[in-house]
């Protein structure tokens, strides 16, 4: 076994792109470990934890650390991947790409996207605001007090700040970050939730109703500290957009006071607004259905592919009468007993919170939380963390998980997750598959792969959660009944 460690000076690439390169190299025969990342202190620390001896490095250096019996092939592949990432080069007129946000703005840019490490994002976002540009802040790890300062200045300049930690947006039909391929249509989404926006947008698309824009505002925007500043601006922008006939407001449980102030703004708009605020008794599927009814469109049977022995079909699984969201909205990760062995293994924070609220019992973990993604790819890109979690699932549990499709997500999630699900000793596996027919992963092909692995697959996360909770409750009830039978009771 040998290590190859070297630095590339003056080579910078986006962290998500480099994570994809690391994953590609790790999958090569003869490569056990591959780290390709900018030489920030965090990435150097992670490489040292993996046992690599590192040279002195600056944050602007590209760090490459490989381990295996023969790293030659990996080094050759590395050069190919880096060449592909660097292929943009000068424009057709020979002009070099701009090096700063302000210089890009002078060339006619109409939106900035910031995805640098969180500790460096503040200055870049402020530059975009001062240049009069709306800005999407993909970066996470920005302190909340800095987020508030950025949004206060954005209000003064009359521009929208989407984020920090804004993973999803669609502006004028162009997807940014983790974005599904959505047909154009009359619904505008304002979302303090990336995967929540993806769920609502995908359901609308499956129903034949498209979207005008998806404006993510960051998961903390409706907190007491930030005060909903970007939410209010986004609502007003969509209210002035002639292509938007209806607005859907999506969020994890908001601060009650901020939610009330936002409702006062909603009451002043000309465009009708449908709320999808988790913790208020609603769920994302119900909100999508309400939006369809408000548009005068029929609500379809949401797709379901049954892998428990039935025939694949598009079957509606309505809520049981009286079945409402339960649980504590302040605790989206729920660990309680009494309703059966239900384990939620999630990549989307809002989807995880929604499932926990609906089920009211079980153990739910959001592996997309910052605590799990520090220095590594998001689980929508890299399944490693969730594969490890699945190996720890108790025997006879009911497993509930999300799989989110779209641009920037894993190009074939079923290739790794479906075999892992098929190997589980679980009593049942339920998958919430969030995507559209036009997504590059092929929604139907992904659904078929998970169905063939024995999972029951839903396009609605809320329906998946209710189905999983019912299965877990049935197993719990059967276990109690079995334990209550004594030999003397038998004939």
What local confidence, expressed as pLDDT, does residue 89 receive? 54
Under 8 Å CB-to-CB from 305, ≥6 apart: which residues?
Answer: 312, 313, 447, 448, 450, 451, 456, 457
Instruction: Tell me the three state secondary structure of residue 29.
Output: coil
**Cα distance between residue 69 and residue 409, in whole Å:** 31
> For residue 206, with 0-12 CB atoms within 10 Å meaning exposed, 13-18 middle and 19 or more buried, which class applies?
buried
Mean local confidence (pLDDT), 55-80? 89
φ and ψ at residue 310, rounded to 5 degrees: -85, -175
Residues of the chain with pLDDT > 70, as a percent, come to 88
Alpha helical stretches, state H, 377-486:
384-391, 414-422, 443-452, 461-483
% the chain with pLDDT above 90: 63
Comparison of pLDDT for 336 and 442, the residue scoring more: 442
Q: How confident is the model at residue 382 (pLDDT cuts 50, 70, 90)?
A: confident
- Evaluate whether 144 touches 225 at the Cβ level (below 8 Å): yes
Question: Are 128 and 101 spatial neighbours (Cβ–Cβ below 8 Å)?
Answer: yes
pLDDT of 20 strictly over 90: no
- Higher-confidence residue of 378 and 274: namely 274
Distance in angstroms (rounded) separating the CA atoms of residues 31 and 194: 34
Show the domains of the chain with their CATH numbers. Answer: 2-84 (3.30.70), 104-294 (3.40.50.261), 304-478 (3.40.50.261)
pLDDT tens by residue, 259-300: 999 999 999 999 999 999 998 778 999 999 999 999 999 999
Confidence of residue 134 (pLDDT cuts 50, 70, 90): very high
- The first and second tokens of residue 329, run together, are 């909205």
Give the per-residue pLDDT at 90: 54
Tell me the average pLDDT across 180-190: 97
Quick: pLDDT tens for 432-458: 999 999 999 999 999 999 999 999 999
Where b means 16+ CB within 10 Å and e means fewer, 406-442 reads bbbbbebbbeebbebbeebebbbbbbbbbbbeebebb
Residue 488 has pLDDT above 60, yes or no: no
User: How high is the pLDDT of residue 92?
Assistant: 53
**Position 101 confidence tier, pLDDT thresholds 50, 70, 90:** confident
The highest-confidence range among 16-25, 390-399, 446-455, by mean pLDDT, is: 446-455
Residue 261, SS3 per DSSP? helix
Give yes or no for residue 484 having a pLDDT over 80: no
Query: Average pLDDT for residues 367-394, to the nearest whole number?
Result: 87
Residue 319 has what pLDDT? 36
How confident is residue 424, by pLDDT bands cut at 50, 70 and 90? very high
Distance of alpha carbon 85 from its chain centroid, rounded? 24
Bridge partners for 402 per DSSP: 432
Examine the pLDDT at 485 and tell me if it is beyond 60: no
Reported as type and span, the H/E element at residue 266 is: helix 256-267
């Amino acid at each position: 076994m040998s290590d190859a460690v070297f630095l590339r000076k003056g080579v910078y690439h986006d962290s998500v792109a480099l994570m994809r390169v690391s994953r590609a190299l790790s999958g090569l025969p003869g490569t056990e470990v591959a780290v390709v990342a900018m030489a920030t202190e965090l990435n150097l620390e992670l490489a040292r934890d993996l046992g690599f001896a590192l040279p002195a490095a600056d944050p602007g250096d590209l760090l490459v650390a490989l381990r295996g019996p023969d790293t030659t092939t990996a080094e050759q592949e590395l050069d190919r991947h880096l060449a592909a990432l660097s292929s943009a080069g000068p424009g057709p007129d020979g002009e070099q790409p701009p090096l700063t946000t302000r210089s890009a703005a002078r060339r006619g840019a109409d939106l900035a996207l910031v995805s640098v490490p969180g500790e460096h994002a503040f200055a870049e976002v402020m530059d975009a605001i001062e240049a009069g540009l709306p800005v999407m802040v993909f970066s996470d790890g920005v302190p909340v007090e800095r987020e508030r300062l950025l949004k206060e200045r954005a209000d003064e300049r009359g521009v929208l700040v989407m984020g920090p930690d804004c993973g999803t947006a669609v502006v004028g039909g162009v997807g940014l970050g983790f974005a599904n391929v959505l047909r154009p249509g009359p619904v505008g989404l304002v979302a303090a939730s990336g995967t929540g926006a993806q769920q609502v947008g995908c359901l609308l698309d499956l129903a034949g109703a498209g979207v005008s824009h998806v404006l993510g505002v960051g998961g903390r925007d409706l907190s007491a500290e930030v005060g909903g500043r970007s939410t209010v601006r986004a609502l007003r922008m969509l209210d002035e957009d002639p292509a938007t006939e209806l607005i859907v407001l999506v969020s994890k449980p908001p601060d009650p006071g901020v939610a009330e102030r936002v409702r006062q703004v909603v009451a002043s708009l000309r465009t009708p607004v449908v709320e999808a605020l988790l913790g208020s008794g609603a769920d994302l599927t119900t909100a999508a259905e309400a939006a369809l009814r408000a548009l005068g469109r029929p609500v379809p049977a949401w797709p379901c592919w049954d892998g428990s022995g039935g025939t694949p079909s598009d079957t509606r699984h309505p809520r049981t009468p009286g079945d409402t969201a339960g649980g504590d909205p302040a605790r989206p990760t729920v660990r309680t007993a009494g309703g059966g062995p239900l384990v939620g293994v999630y990549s989307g924070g809002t989807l995880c919170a929604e499932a926990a609220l609906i089920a009211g019992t079980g153990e739910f973990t959001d592996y997309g939380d910052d605590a799990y993604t520090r220095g590594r790819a998001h689980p929508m890109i890299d399944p490693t963390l969730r594969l490890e979690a699945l190996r720890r699932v108790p025997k006879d549990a009911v497993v509930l998980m999300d799989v989110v499709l779209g641009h920037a997500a894993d190009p074939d999630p079923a290739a790794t997750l479906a075999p892992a699900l098929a190997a589980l000793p679980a009593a049942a596996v339920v998958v919430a598959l969030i995507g559209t027919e036009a997504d590059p992963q092929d929604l139907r092909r992904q659904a078929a792969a998970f169905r063939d692995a024995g999972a029951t697959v839903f396009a609605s996360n809320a329906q998946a959660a209710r189905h999983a909770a019912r299965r877990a409750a049935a197993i719990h009830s059967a276990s109690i009944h079995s334990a209550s039978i004594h030999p003397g009771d038998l004939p």
